[in-house]
Every structure is written in structure tokens, then in C-alpha cells.
Chains A and B, each alone.
Chain A
Amino acid sequence: MRTILEFGRQSLKRSKARTTMASIPFSFGETDQVLVEEKYSTRIFTLNRPNQLNAVSFPMVQFSISAIELFLACEEDHSVKLIILKGKGKAFCAGGDVAAVVRGITQASSNWRPGAIFFRRQYILNYVMATYNTLSNFTIPLQICMKVSILNGIVMGGGAGVSIHGRFCVATENSLFAMPETALGLFPDVGASYFLSRLPGFFGEYVGLTGARLDGAEMLACGLATHFVLSEKLSLLEDALYKADSSDPVVISATISEFSLAPNVKEKSAFHRLNIINKCFSCKTIEEIILALEREAADKDDEWISSTLQSLKKASPTSLKISLRSIREGRLQGLGKCLLREYGLVWTIMRGEINKDFFEGCRAILLDKDKNPKWEPAKLEQVTEDMVDRYFSKINDEDWEDLDLPRRSNIPPYAIAKLQILS
């Protein structure tokens, strides 16, 4: 039996009803941005905006039947043992639909509120994904439900936020991971200050600041993915997973392992340059990082160093400074704290009172596509410590509301187990 449920703007009540999830075929709603299939005890969620590279949209996170409620409903539905999350088309998920957010703000006479709500909902979704099926509300779950994300394509920004925090992430030869926010005048959010900072050495700073792209093999090597499976094997993997009919992480891991490979990391990969990365990206400030890279470049003619430098020089100076500090603070904090800090940052950025690089970046990269953003301030040294402090300080504004994360138990051990320091 196979049921496709298309979700749009329906009532929360219905989706939560167990029968709805289980057997009654529903087809309603104006949108079908997330498809849900049911196979025995498995639910397969497919992000379904292939033309927008499955970008996380307003409807996905905003309305009463959002992805958040869908996930929570599955969590409460004790017949569901496993959720598989994947994307339709060549992307898993290319991130939050920031173009829409920015269009909203710039066109609707600087109305930043919908944007703030968008980020708020998105971060809550990240938190739900990360804390999925840990003890919630102090009740004792009789049945646990696991999550497997299949990253067969582009995984960027918000796409990483809905997958990386979870228990299992399967990369393929088509995976393409990046946190490109500094080029957009934003910073790696969706909990990236948590997961980037837990990559080996200072690789997280490198990935987060330069927006470097990683393939599936690199994702596996650095700990962003737990498994690597060739895309041709994915349908077999899905079959095996739902036939396994289990929520035991050991069984699920073993099932995926049957199909997985240990691919070689390509020779030119940045992952082979951890020594230089650790040396340079451990510096205290962006200026020192650039100086250290330039010093390395002076010693040898190296294409990787020059392209790394180029990425840093192209990025918004303000974004670089905010991003570095956010990752460094994130390394010492839990995911909840990271999301709270990131929400404060994104809120200040949306208000655009300190600078407007985010709007300029989106204009140049996503809307006008002239790829020539005019950052303001344009130079690193013009971004003072004081300016950076303002982004991180407590917001005194009557409109401000703290991110109200659902009160769930701690982030489970397994959520960070795979992101531990590699030896």
C-alpha cells in the first residue's frame, strides 16, 4: 500500500491524528511542497520544489501544518519507526529561500517581520530535527523513531540545517555541500555554528568562512555525513530500510552500511590540507587568518591557497567577522544556545540598522545576478570590534522576541557523536 499525502494549509489537528498519517489517502492543499509516503513503519518525506532546488520556503516552515508539525506528528505516532528525508531532482535542498525573504523586505516597504518569522520557524525546525526523538516533555517514549537524510545532490545552508543535525546522513557521488552565506552578506546559520565548529581542527572555520564546496567523499571524511552510498543503490537502500522495520540505530546503521562504500577523498581536496587549515584558520581574527594564508602563499605557488584567499576577499567583511565569532562561540556552546545566538544575529541583520550587506548580497547574487555586491563597509579594517559587538549584544527593542525553542530534552548524544574530533 502506498499513500501519497500532499500537505498544504490544513489543520494541525488532522495531521496529528494517527489515522491520517497511517492509511487514509489525502490529497488536498494548494501546495505540495513536501510529499509524504508511507511504507510500513517508515515515512518518506520528499522535499518537492525541484525547480527551486528544494529551497526551504515560507509554506514549509510557516503555516500550521509545517514540516515542524509533520515531524512532531511522526514522533508522537508510535507506529512510525523511521523517517527518510530526501529531495526531488538534482538537489537535496539548496537552503532557505532567502531570495523570497529579501524580495519581501525590499519590496514591501522594509517589512522585515515575515523574514524574521521565516528564520524563527526555520531554526525551530533545525532544533526539532536535532533533538528528534529524545525524551520530550518528560514522557517516556515506548517507541523511538530514527531519521535518515539522503543527500543525493546539493546541500546548502538551510538544507544542511534540516539534515546534518540528525542521526544518519547518507552522502552520494552527487552530494555537493556548502555554507555559502558569507558571499551573500549573511553568516552560516541553521545551527552551523554548532556543527561546523565540531568538525576536525579548524576545518569548520574554513568551510564556513570561504563557502568551500565539499563532495560526498569529503563530507564523509570530515564527519558531516555518516555513510556514502552510490546513487544507483539508493532505491535498494530505501527498500532495505523499510523492510528492516526497525528504529534501532544499530540495525539502521548496519542496513545502510551494507550499501555503503569508503570512497577516496580526491587528491586536490582541502581535507588533505588540514595542516595548513589548522595553522591559518585557528588565528584569532579574520585579518590574521588572511595574513597567515598570504604568508603560506608567499612560500609556494598554490592554487588552493589563492582561491581560498579569493573567496575570503569576495565575501562581505562584516559577514566574515560575524561568522568567525559565531563559530568560535558555538564551539563552546550547545545547539540550543547556538540557535538562540544565530537568531539574534539574523534579526539584527534583517533590521539592517548596522549595515545592509545581506540585502546587497542577495541582490547581487540571487536577484540581479550581477555577482558584484558592493559591501559596506568594504574593508575588513573598517569593520570595528564595536560594530561586531553590536550584532552579538542583547537586543533592546520592543519587537524583539527570543527564539522560543520547544522545551525538549538535551541534544541527544548521537547527534554530535559523528561530529566528534577525528583522530
Chain B
Amino acid sequence: MEKEIHLLQFITINSMEKVNFRTHILSEHLQNHRHATTATISASPCFSYVPPEVSERPFSFDVTSMRKLMDGHNFGDRDWLFNLMVQSELFNPRLRGGKIFVMPDYNHSMQQQRKITMKRIEYLLDHGVFKGWLTGKGPESEMKKFALLEVIEIFDYALAVNIGVHFLTWGGAIQFFGTKRHHDKWLSATENYLINGCFAMTELGHGSNVRGIETTATYEANTGEFVINTPCESAQKYWIGGAANHATHAVVFSQLNIDGKNQGIHAFIAQIRDENGNICPNIRIADCGHKIGLNGVDNGRIWFDNLRIPRENLLNSVADVSPDGKYLSAINDPDQRFAAFMATLASGRVTVTVSAVYSAKVSLAIAIRYALTRRAFSITANGPELLLLDYPSHQRRLLPLLAKTYAMSFAGNYLKLLYIKRSAQLIKTIHVVSSAFKATLTWHNLRILQECREACGGQGMKTENRIGQLKGEYDVQSTFEGDNNVLMQQVSKALLAEYMAAKKRNKPFKELGLEHMNKSCPVIPTQLISSTLRSTQFQNDIFCLRERDLLNRFAAEVSQYQAQGESKESAFVLSYQVAEDLGKAFSDRAILQCAIEAENNVTAASLKSILGLLRSMYVLVIIEEDSAFLRYGYLSTDNAAAVRKEVVKLCGEIRPQALALVSSFGIPDAFLSPIAFDWVAANSWSTIEN
């Protein structure tokens, strides 16, 4: 109704004699130009900004409840931190179009960005934001840490990465690889930033293949010291966040040599700078230089020239070396030892995964709010120009991404809870799920950023409108904490291992959500109608069918290559096409189950109904976009056409809820951007004069 009135008024204006109207506007322009000081935006008749809250229909569901569902936990802590950032000059508040926006000044040089990032950390530290991040106990303090980190990510990813390096990778290594003596010495000091930690794992020659790194640590029994050395240029530590400027300590990953025997990868603590910030002897450090994003992070390179560290600096939770040089480990198998080691690194992947969702939320909220206020072209003779989001094509660009973001938001919440519950039994699940979700969600975010940037047209080019800048800042997410392609291969490998184990022992599947493989193969109806397409049953069936079939195909292809004399490793490498399809199938199915669970836990009918629409959109748009469904014949071409039609229908049904859906993201206005609000006022001449 409101919208009809809105349109009507535009028609009234347009029904004025067109020539007169045009003359009036032109004379206004001229007049405004002459008396620039008296011009006010609200007096201009050409285009008046109408906030979407006024022009859109009232919300059909409670956005506060939806926000709670999506943020999941620690709402008060989140809002407190938003408050802390908005009220400090350090967060670069700027007045645009009558509203305050906070965003780093990306026009700063790399060094300036790094400097202000450290000042922001100091401010957050002074206000107790990091209290309990390493010394706190229990799931509650872990969830609080996640929540606060998410809020920091919404402001600036570089700030979050700096903090993440210090607390999650350096601090996490001390927590998980270290024992009491390390905890006592380092955890509280780290939490209070008495030292600055970094995490020196990646080398120039080895990244994802951690086991191939070349830095060595050799034990000398007569002095009771390890000697850490960079034997060649490819062994220089590379991309080490914090190393270039401010880190004082590093966790160094090296090959441990004892009496000439290599015991594999181990982690050591090394001091790399003194308390005055001078680089320590036997250490060389260089800057990684300017990057395509995250210039607020001081990535550096480190060379060790036979640096001597005490025996106690070995992080010895998995393996230890006695003073007389005996290697001691409870785990004899080096493969298992390495796995135990790596399992604890999942927290980094969890936070990367969730941060991708928040970046997607920021850009979608901006692009959709803009599409609800920006008009382009009229499709009738004298009619008003259409709102961008009233074009079905624009809906098709943004609304499926919105639906996917909802599903992935629930997936992120699931992953956090899974990580919190971690136990020896869950190590494999956490590894596989976090790998799959990390790759899928970060890729999803990068795609969203590009689409939203384009959907905002020229305004998307402006750094102040955030989306374009986020493309650079978040780009590296597809690489760090495990290269996405490598991670997805690992997912497929893990699924195959599960498959082989079940077949070999003739036992049912009971992990990684593969239980559906124990049932008979689902049958997809030959003719799909709307109600079927929207049913959870069908959606589950078709995703499970795809996963089951691809897993069978993958197993068959690998064994076929092996039968032809290829090694197991080489068979994997050659089967990469099915492996990719399978990884995606696993991930999509697991995310769907998270969305269904979230929907089932909701009681309010209004929330249930919109979540149902979003879930259907999530599934159908994947079916529409992934050629695997047609390639392997899970869908007939007729049914694929029915899916495509249903996507258009869903776009139309979600469109009226678009504003409510992005409002539910719970991102305060100040963390969005000028084009999300009154972009006419934000760009008016008067803002330049004043």
C-alpha cells in the first residue's frame, strides 16, 4: 500500500507538463549554481532520496529475533564493542550525508595503516576487550572471543588479522602445542600485549605443504640448546604477519634433527626483537612489501642464522626432547603426530570462515539498500524510473546471494559450536568440515563482493563505499589458513578414506554426515512441481544423491587408475575433476543441513516462513548453477528448466523482504557506507563547502 502511494505521487509529478517540469529543474540548477550557499538538498526537486524504511512495506518478521538467530551469541558484548569503536577518533569517524561512518583511511600509506592498526589494538586493550582471550576458561570465554573478533572484522579485516595472528596463531600455538611452563610464562603476557607474537610456519618454498618446510632445529646436548637455521633461500619464513615491524616473539616451525635423525615438524619459541624493537642477533628480517590488500598487516620474512634457543622453548605437548637429547613422544607414527599437531590449527580456519560471512553481510546490506533507493530507466512512456531492485534481473543477481549468505551464516555458527566441543573423536570431523566450509564460504564471499561492487555501479568504485576495498582485503582468504583448492581436495580424500573403510569392513557410515549413504538411493520425481522443489525432502534428497553418486564415481575412478598401475597419490591427482565436484557436493549438503536445523529450532511462524523461502532459494540456485546436476543426470533438462523458473518466482517472493533481511544482519549504520543511506545528501555541494 505504502509503495502504491509512493508510485502514485511520482506519477502525479510526472503528469505535470513535462516541458515545464524540465524547465523548472533546469532553472533550479542554474539558480543553485549562482547562489550556491543558499542551495539545500531538500529544496531540489530532481531526485529526492527516500529511505527504504519509508518506501518499503513494514517488516513481516521481527528483525531483532532474526539478528539473534544469526549472530547466535554474545549480543551485548558485540554492541558494547561497536560502541567503543564508534566513539573513538582512532576509528576514523567521518560525517557523510548527516551520518557518521567509521572505516580505516585506506588513503594512508602502508606504514601509516600499520601504525594506526597498532594504536587501535592499544585502545581495545586499554578498554579490556581482550580480557580472558587466553586466560579465560571454558566455552563461554571462547564464544565471547569469537563474537568480539567478528565485530572487529566488520570494522577492518587488517585489524582483525593482526589480532588473530597474536591471539589465535601465536597464542593458540602456546596454548595447544605448549605445556604448563609455556602457559605460565606466555599466556598472560600475550593477553596484555607485553610481548607481540607471530607465527612463522610458511616459507618461500613451502606453504600448504607444511611437511616440506626446510628450516632446521638441531639439538645440542652439551649446551642444552636448539640451533635454528635457515639453510637456503627457499627456507626463509614468508608472509609472517607481524614480523615486518612489531613482533617480538615467533613460533618457529622447523624440522627437528636429533643425532642426525629427522623427527619431523616441531614448533619452537624464538625471540626475534628486543623490548626496544631492535632485531635480535642471528635474525634477519625483511618486509613483504605492499600487497593487494591487508596493508594494515605487516607481513615479513625471517632468516635464522644458527639462532640458539633453550631446550625449554620447544613446545612439547606432542613430543619432547630430554636434556641428554632423547626424543620422547607418546605418538609413534609420524603421520599421526603431524595430524595431532595440525588439528589445533582449526581455530584459525573457523574464524576465517565466519569472517567471510560477515564481509558478505556488509556488502549485501550496502548493495541491497542502495538498490532500494537508486532508480534507473523508466519502462513506461511518462512513468517513473524503476528502483534497481524492482528489476527481476537485479533481484536474480543479489537475492540468491542473500539466501546463500543466510545458509552460510548458520553453517558458520555450526562450525563454531563444533570447534568449541572439540575432542579426540571430533578431530577428523572438525578438520573436514572446517576445510570444506572455509573454502566454500570464502569463495562465496569473494563472489558476493564482486557482484555487489558491480550492482552499485560507479558508486561501488569509491573506497568510502567499502565493497570495492573489501575485495582486496578479503582476497587472500582463499589462500591463507589452507589454500581453498588444496582444502577441497583434502575433503574429497577424507570422504574417500571413509568410503574405503566402510566398504572394507562392510560397516555402515557413521561420520561426516555420510549416514545417508546407508539408506537406499533417493529417487527424484520425474516431474518437479513448485511444492516439491520447495520441500525439505526433495532438497535433501537431491543433495544427498549428488554426494553419494560422486563419492561412488570418485572411488571407481581412483581404483581404475590404480588398476592401470598408477600410485594412489597419482590416482588422486588424475581424478581431480570428480574430486572437485565431490568436495562441493559435500559442502553444499552439510551447509543445507545447518540451515534446516536452524529453521527447525525457530518457533515463530513468520521467521520459519522466510527461512523456508531462503533455504529453497539456496538449494535451487545451486542446482541451477552447478552443471553437475545435468552432467551426471540427477535432473532431466525439463526439471532443470522447472528449477530455473522457480528461482525467478522465489526472487519475487523474497524481494519485499529484502530490507528486513539485510536489517537482520545487525550491522550498525556506521559500519556500512554512505550509499547505503542518503547518498544524495552525502554527495551534495554543501558537504564540500562545509
Contacts and interface: CB of A to CB of B under 8 A. Distances in A.
Interface of A: 133-135, 137-141, 144, 197-198, 200-202, 248-251, 278-279, 282-284, 325, 328-329, 331-334, 336, 385, 394, 407-417, 420-421, 423
Interface in B82-110: 82-84, 86-89, 93, 95, 97-100
B42 A134 contact: yes
Interface in B37-61: 37-38, 40-43, 45, 48-51, 53-54
A284 B669 contact: no
Contacts of A415: 98
Nearest to B65: A394
B603 to A, nearest CB: 13
Contact of A201 (B48, B77, B87): B87
A328 B100 CA distance: 16
B89 A413 contact: no
B87 A141 contact: no
B582 to A, nearest CB: 43
B53 A336 contact: yes
Contact of A282 (B41, B43, B84): B84
Give the residue among A140, A141, A325 with the most B Cβ atoms within 10 A.
A140
Pairs A-B, 5 closest by C-beta atoms: A413-B98, A332-B668, A410-B51, A138-B9, A284-B80
Contact of B79 (A202, A279, A332, A394): A332
B670 interface: yes
Contacts of B669: 332-334
A331 B87 contact: yes
Contacts of B49: 409-410
Contacts of B50: 135, 138, 409
A417 to B, nearest CB: 6
Given A138-B9, A332-B670, A410-B678, A249 B84 contact: no
B42 A135 contact: yes
A394 B64 contact: yes
A142 to B, nearest CB: 8
A249 B80 CA distance: 36
Interface of B: 2, 5-6, 9-10, 13, 37-38, 40-43, 45, 48-51, 53-54, 62, 64-65, 76-77, 79-80, 82-84, 86-89, 93, 95, 97-100, 126-128, 668-670, 677-678, 681
A417 B681 CA distance: 12
Contact of B45 (A140, A251, A416, A421): A140
Nearest to B79: A328
B485 to A, nearest CB: 39
25 contacts: A133-B42, A138-B9, A140-B13, A140-B48, A141-B42, A144-B43, A197-B83, A198-B100, A200-B87, A251-B38, A278-B87, A279-B126, A282-B83, A283-B128, A284-B76, A284-B77, A328-B79, A328-B83, A332-B86, A333-B669, A336-B53, A409-B50, A410-B678, A414-B98, A421-B87
A144 B83 contact: no
Given A133-B42, A333-B669, 15 more contacts: A137-B9, A138-B48, A144-B43, A202-B87, A248-B38, A282-B84, A282-B127, A328-B79, A328-B83, A332-B83, A332-B86, A410-B51, A413-B97, A413-B98, A416-B99
B428 to A, nearest CB: 38
A251 B39 CA distance: 12
Contacts of B9: 137-139
Given A134-B42, A144-B42, A409-B50, A329 B84 contact: no
Nearest to A200: B87
B664 to A, nearest CB: 14
B672 to A, nearest CB: 11
Nearest to A137: B9
Contacts of A385: 76
B53 A416 contact: no
A139 B48 CA distance: 10
A331 B99 CA distance: 12
A328 B62 contact: no
| Overall SS of chain B's interface | helix
A423 B98 contact: no
B38 A410 contact: no
Given A284-B80, A328-B83, A332-B82, A421 B64 contact: no
Contacts of B62: 394
A258 to B, nearest CB: 17
Nearest to A423: B89
Contacts of B40: 144, 248-249
A420 B37 contact: no
B85 to A, nearest CB: 10
A208 to B, nearest CB: 13
A331 B84 CA distance: 10
B83 A331 contact: yes
A250 B37 contact: yes
Contacts of A133: 42
A159 to B, nearest CB: 24
Given A135-B48, A282-B87, A282-B127, A412 B77 contact: no
B45 to A, nearest CB: 5
Contacts of B37: 248, 250
Contacts of A407: 2, 54
A328 B80 contact: yes
Contacts of B45: 140
A420 B677 CA distance: 17
Contacts of B97: 413
A283 B81 CA distance: 10
Given A249-B40, A421-B93, A409 B87 contact: no
Nearest to B64: A394
A329 B669 CA distance: 12
B100 A420 contact: yes
A409 B127 contact: no
Residue with the highest number of chain B CB atoms closer than 10 Å, among A138, A144, A202, A420: A138
B130 to A, nearest CB: 13
A141 B51 contact: no
Nearest to B666: A332
Nearest to A393: B64
Contacts of B48: 135, 138, 140, 409
A138 B668 contact: no
Contacts of A279: 126
A250 B38 contact: yes
A334 B54 CA distance: 13
Contacts of A137: 9
A414 B37 CA distance: 15
A401 to B, nearest CB: 14
B630 to A, nearest CB: 46
Contacts of B126: 279
Contacts of A250: 37-38
A144 B41 CA distance: 11
Contacts of A135: 42, 48, 50
Contacts of B2: 407
Choose among A250, A328, A421 the residue with the greatest number of B CB atoms under 10 Å from its CB: A421
A251 B127 CA distance: 43
Given A144-B42, A248-B38, A394-B64, A421 B100 contact: yes
Given A250-B38, A332-B79, A409-B50, A420 B95 contact: yes
Contacts of A331: 82-83, 86-87, 668
A376 B282 CA distance: 67
Contacts of B127: 282-283
A202 B88 CA distance: 9
Contacts of A412: 42, 98
Most chain B CB atoms below 10 A, which of A135, A251, A411: A135
A409 B54 contact: yes
Most central of B2, B38, B98, B128 by chain A CB within 10 Å = B98
Contacts of A278: 87
A145 to B, nearest CB: 11
Nearest to A394: B62
A409 B100 contact: no
A47 B33 CA distance: 40
A416 to B, nearest CB: 6
Contacts of A334: 669
